[in-house]
Each structure stands twice: as C-alpha cells, then as structure tokens.
Amino acid sequence: MTTFLGMPALPAFGSGNLFAGESFPKAAHRELGNAQLRANLGHATHTIRDKRQAVVSELPDWEQLRDAGSAIKESVMARLPDLLEEFEKNFTARGGVIHWARDAREANEIVAGLVRETGETEVVKVKSMATQEIGLNEYLEEQGIEAFETDLAELIVQLDHDKPSHILVPAIHKNRTEIRDIFLREMPGADPALTNEPPVLAMAAREHLRRKFLTAKVAVSGANFALADSGTLAVVESEGNGRMCLTLPETLITVMGIEKLLPTWQDLEVFMQLLPRSSTGERMNPYTSLWTGVTEGDGPQNVHLVLLDNGRSAALADEMGRSALHCIRCSACMNVCPVYERTGGHAYGSTYPGPIGAILSPLLTGIEAEENSSLPYASSLCGACYDACPVKINIPDILVHLRSVDVDSKRGTRKVPSQMDVGMKAASWALSSGKHLGLVEKGLPLGRLAAGRDKKIKKLPGIAGGWTQSRDIPAPPTQSFRDWWAKEHKSAAPSQAAPSRDDKETQQ
Amino acid sequence: MRIALFATCIVDAMYPATAKATVRILERLGHEVVFPEGQACCGQMHVNSGYLKEAVPVVANHVAAFDTADYDVAVAPSGSCVASVKHQHPMVARSCGDAALEARATAVGAKTYELSELLVDVLGVTDAGAQLGSYFPHRVTYHPSCHGMRLLRLGDRQSRLLRTVQGIDIADLPEADQCCGFGGTFSMKNADVSSAMLQDKAANVEATGAELCTGGDASCLMHIGGGLSRQGSSTTTLHLAEILASTMEEPASVTGEVRVSTGKALR
C-alpha cells in the first residue's frame, strides 16, 4: 500500500468581472446594430492609432524597445515568485503593508476591511483595471462604502451607471453631447447651462472632483508597475487626478496584479518609452507618480498593497498562453483591431475587451467558464494586434491555442456532435490526401448546377449560411486544376508539357 | 530550376485559372514546374478553428507530398497557405508529439515560397512588363492580404510587380491594410462582424473606381468578390498571378463569374 498525497492542487481560476455573460456573436450582433456607437468608435480608434503610428515611427529603435520589453517581461514571468518576495521585503522595510489575495473575493474583503479600520465611508479612486476586474466598487457599495472614480472617463462611466468599453479610454463609446447629458442628469449641482465643449465639460468635472479630493481620507489606486529592487510602485496618467489621490489622503490602498513587477528601476526606462507611445500616442505621459513606502509628514501615512492573483498563476501555468501576462494595458491592440472597432468593448463582457481580452479573460477564468469559450473566436486572425503590441504578445497564436483548448474540452461531451465537429472531421478526410480531394472535386459540376444560370450560389444551409448572408459564391469551374494537370501531362513529361491555351472555361 | 507548385485547395477546386497562370509565369521564365499529386491542403482551416487533432493528417499529407517530390523550391499563389506551411505545420507536428514530422515540416516550410516572394527574391523579377511580358490595360486596385503582409512580411513585393505591368492603371485602396473580414471559419462563426468588415472593404474598393480588385490570396478575393457581387457592384476580383500572366497575345479574362449584378445591397 502506498500513501499517495496527490498532485499539488492546480492554481485556482479567477473570479469577478472576467466573464462574458452571453456569447460573443450574440453580443456583437446587438452592438453592431448601434450606429452611433460604431461611428464614435471608428472615429476614436482611427484618431488614436494615427497618433500612435506617428510617434512610434519617429523612434529608430522602436523594434529593439519592443524586444527589450518582451525580454524583460519574459524574465519576470520566469522568476515571479522570487521577485515578489524581493518586492515584499523592500516594500515592507519602507513602511508599506502587503496583503496577498488569491481571488476577487479575498481582495475585496481585504480592501473593505482596511477602509473600515479608518472609520471612513467614502474613498476616492484613481482609474484601476485591477479593481474593475474584482468589482471593488460594487462590493464596497454593499458594505456601505462609497467609491468615487476620479479619472474623467471613469467618472463619466460611473455617473452613467455604465461599464467601461475600453481599457485606456473607458468612455470611448460616448460622444461629448452624450457626456453633457450625463453630467446634467447625474452630477449634483451641475450648471444647467452646461455646453458640450470639452473644456467646459472638463471644468465641470474638475469642480465636482475637487471637493472630493479635499475631503477624502482614503484613496484606492491601481499600479502600472512595481519595482522589486526598491519596493516602489508607479502610476502613469494624463490628468493629475491620480496624483491627487496618491498624495492627499491619509490612507492609500493599492490593488495590483502580481504580474506587474519589474526587476529594477533601470527596466522601467524601457516601459516608460513603450507605454505612452502605445497607449495615448504621446511621447511622454503628463503625470508619472512613484512612491516607495511611507515618508513621515509627506503624503499618505498608511500605505497598503493588495497583491492579486485571481487566475494569474493559472495563466502562468499555461505554457502557450502565459505571455498574455506581459500585457501593460496600453490598449494598442484594441485600437487597431477591426473586430473591436465595430463591436466596442461591451461585446466582450469582461473588464478586458479587444484582442488582449479575448485571450486574457479565458486564461484567467479557464476556457470552460460561462461564455468565455466564445472569446478566442472573436478575431479574424489578421495579426494587426501582434504588430501593435509594445511587448510583442503573439495574440493570434494564443487565440488559436485557446481555440484548440476549447475544442478539446468539448470532445466527446456532446450527445450530438456540432455541425462544426462534423464538418471538420469530413474536411480532414477530404483534405488529407490528393486522391480524396480529387474525388470530392468530381462533384464540382453539382455546385455549378446549384449556382444556376447567373453562376452564383446565394444561399447555403447550416453554419455555411453565415457566409451567404452577405456574400455570393462563384459557381465552381467545370474542371479542377488537378484534373486539368493530369490530362495535360498524361503523355508528356512535365518539362515538355505546354499549358493549355484553352482555359477560358475555368477563368474565374 | 525545378519548381513544385502547391496549388492550395481553394485554387485547385475553385480557381484553377490562378494555378494555370502561375504555371505560365514560371514556364515563361524558363523553369520546369512539377505538381506533386499527393497534395491537398495546408490544413490552416483546421488549425485556425482549433481542430488540431483533425489537422494532423492534413499536415502529414502535405509534408509527405512535398518532401518526397524532387524539386528545388515550392511555390503557392497564396500568402496565407504559405504562412501556414511555414509557421503552423511544425507547431501541429509538435502538438501530437511527432518530432520526425516536425523536422520534415520545417524543411518543407523552408523551401516554400509565396509567388511574389519567389519571383522577386529568388527569380530576380523586377519588371513584370519586361521580363514576363505582362500587359493588363485595366484600372486595378490592390488589397494586401493580412497573412502575406504580417506573417510573411511580403512588404511591397506584390505591389511592385503589379506596378510594372504594362498598361495597368493602379488606384490606391483606402485603408488597404485593413482585414477584409474573411478569417476562414470566422466568416461563419462571427458572420455579423465579418459582414461589417466586408462592407467597409467593399466600399473602399468601390471608392477607387477600379474595374478589378486584385491580391495574392484567392480566399480573400473570393470574400471581397462575393460581397461586391451581393452588393450589385460591377467591380470584381482577380488574382495577381492572372494579371502577371496576362499578355497582349493572351489577355486574362476579366469577366468574373461573380460579377452579375442583382442590385441587392450588403447588409
């Protein structure tokens, strides 16, 4: 008899706002119907991607910078446990407090507990993807704590009781008239004569936020980077509202994914070039805040950091998918994605939309979670995202990998195989030998018959009907190339055979 | 040079004229073309749809058909299929733990070229008009397909060849580098998004006023052509190989079968 203690448990998958509530094709169908949304998105993504292209082109070493960013991230992933311990030691030595959270629930409970200890019932927030991911605002509200978003776009989304549609530009799906209407409806004391001019709207938000900054005792932030060698955290932003949150309150609670570490200050240099150019198309972002522990008499005196796993260890365990954790949340992939451009972020369900979301969400939750299995198919694999990614995440390859994980997870589980399963099996037979394909091609005249007199196939059954909803198929030729070649080369050696001059019949 | 033609499944079954044009171009340059008869398909549709297990026999067949044939280089008139042969075949072999197949697939991939790549890099064609006698007196716009552009890094090889065709009038395609929305089974699984992408591509093609839209991938051209046809456009699609093979004596046929107008707009 042996005492088998079992394999170590696999890392747990994440929870929170990482799930698509409905399949991507269904959600996309609805979002595509919104003409205003499409116009807003098309305008915004084109503007940002042109700006990005311009500032990227002016750097002669952009490709080397991308290589450096990718290499640094790869080395971080390879020794993440060591770096996390090094960071913890240095952060703690400088007066900070570290909390470890396995999932969204644990992270939310830790933050709520820390706020409760201060006796406060209000917190100001600087835009943070991690807290969006765990649904912190909603949880705090249940606990009687009100969270105020201070990033302008986050504020707009929050006031509208909506969800962000983009990582960098959460309100990308709204135009300025819509924003004015939201302010008039939801912002206490908004001037009824508010116009839709951007400076006017910005000033209204500024006045609204200023009151919060001056009274809030607790702030919650995310972090763009953490430097292991000194225990330093960094937030990169455009408006300065983040800096107000990071410096004015007495207590600062940061929630950060464990993958955001960098080994040294020197490594930050690479990312400070990659991030602003990729995200906002700027050479440098206006505000970079870095803080290392507590400084007596200056800034927050209680400094906490919640280190969040929430499926990251599970993603790290996926050899093919782990580089998705290199993501620095710049949004360049979504700004160039033709699918995102037409559907917007809500179609993806999760906090992380676009190409990176299509791989990151299923990696964090597991492919079998709810509708997340539809996300890796939300791409034509055109590869624009890979080209734009500043840390060279091979998103198309990971999409294909996750599709295969999805297909394999469903093998043998269905009572009746899907049309796709049947079709792929039949196609595998037909396409795995020249003889088989030759046999199938003998049926080409049938297709020609189906096409009718105008030589077009306009309606196909089953899933192939997706094609004919907006595209015709030409009538097949009378003879395949294979048959033509065989006929031409029956008696002559290939070098002597002249191609037929009579191929009008088979011209497309 | 002895050149093996990989016709690709879609060209073999649907667009034999494209394969014949490829043969004509290579023979005109004085090369010998062979057609390994065991060939069928690169298996890209299976791989990209996640059916790796079903892709294995397709990939194994391609490797077997091409590593036993006697030739110097292989060529396909399709960037997407060449990218699959080069990038996906070793991966598929790895996925089923077949190291020998992986090594053979890598070797076949290294000898396989996309048509414009072969013409420019290996066969030294810089002027299609002068070296191939290419003559095509039509207004043409050009769509650079995603996989040729981004996986094979074809750069301007295709458009450079196209621009040296005698008599041709090239109209630049707005937002040329945007995907047409085909994406294999993407066009069926996410038919709505694919249609929206196609709608924009078709509108851009129409805006050029070109008679034809050309490119290096039959599948993308079938997609764009199918959309133009449904829209009732008089613009049709024609593979780059057929334009390069077109001469004054033997002009390519430009009356596409998809071209008949119904007047029905794209949804």
pLDDT 10s digits, B225-258: 999 999 999 999 999 999 999 999 999 987 644 4
Backbone angles phi, psi at A489, to 5 degrees: -105, 15
What is the SS3 assignment for A102? coil
When pLDDT is cut at 50, 70 and 90, the band that residue A508 belongs to is very low
pLDDT reported for residue B257: 43
When pLDDT is cut at 50, 70 and 90, the band that residue A230 belongs to is very high
Which residues from chain A sit within 8 angstroms of residue B18, using beta carbons?
Answer: 508
pLDDT reported for residue A57: 96
The Cα–Cα gap between A342 and A346 comes to 11
What amino acid occupies position A43? Answer: H
When pLDDT is cut at 50, 70 and 90, the band that residue A507 belongs to is very low
When pLDDT is cut at 50, 70 and 90, the band that residue A10 belongs to is low
Q: What is the pLDDT of residues B145-169, one digit of tens each?
A: 999 999 999 999 999 999 999 999 9
Q: Which residue of A has its CA nearest to B50?
A: A404
pLDDT reported for residue A500: 45
When pLDDT is cut at 50, 70 and 90, the band that residue A4 belongs to is low
Give the residues across from B75 on adjacent strands. B5, B113
Cβ atoms B21, B33 nearer than 8 A: no
The Cα–Cα gap between A355 and A252 comes to 32
pLDDT reported for residue A164: 86
Compute CA distances A286 → A59, A236, A378, A493, B246, whole Å. Answer: 19, 8, 34, 71, 57
pLDDT reported for residue B263: 36
The rounded mean pLDDT for chain B is: 94
> Between A24, A473, A477, which is nearest B16 by CB?
A477
Asked whether the predicted pLDDT for residue A429 surpasses 80, the reply is yes
Average of per-residue pLDDT across A392-413: 96
Please, what's the b/e burial string for A426-454 (b: 16 or more CB within 10 A of its CB; e: otherwise)?
ebbebbbbbeebbebbeebeebbeebeeb
Average of per-residue pLDDT across A133-157: 95
Cβ atoms B243, B77 nearer than 8 A: no
Beta carbon pairs, A and B, within 8 Å:
249
In chain B, % of residues over pLDDT 90? 94
Asked whether the predicted pLDDT for residue B264 surpasses 60, the reply is no
Check CB contact under 8 Å for A32 and B239.
no
The Cα–Cα gap between A379 and A24 comes to 11
- The ipTM of this complex is 0.94
Cβ atoms B72, B3 nearer than 8 A: yes
DSSP A418-471: -HHHHHHHHHHHHTS-HHHHHHHHTTHHHHHHHHTTTTEE----GGGHHHHTT-
pLDDT reported for residue B34: 97
Cβ atoms B11, B222 nearer than 8 A: no
Backbone angles phi, psi at A98, to 5 degrees: -100, 140
Average of per-residue pLDDT across A66-93: 98
Q: What is the pLDDT of residues A148-185, one digit of tens each?
A: 999 998 999 999 998 888 888 888 888 889 999 999 99
Check CB contact under 8 Å for A400 and B47.
yes
Q: How far is A458 from chain B (nearest CA, A)?
A: 8
Which residues from chain B sit within 8 angstroms of residue A430, using beta carbons?
Answer: 40
pLDDT reported for residue B267: 36
Cβ atoms A118, A250 nearer than 8 A: yes
Q: Is A39 on the interface with B (CB under 8 A)?
A: no
Cβ atoms A359, A325 nearer than 8 A: no
The Cα–Cα gap between B124 and B242 comes to 19
Best residue of B1, B18, B54, B56 to probe chain A, by most A CBs closer than 10 Å: B54
Check CB contact under 8 Å for B252 and A507.
yes
The region of weakest confidence among A101-115, A135-149, A226-240, A491-505 is: A491-505
Q: Is A320 on the interface with B (CB under 8 A)?
A: no
Q: How far is A191 from chain B (nearest CA, A)?
A: 40
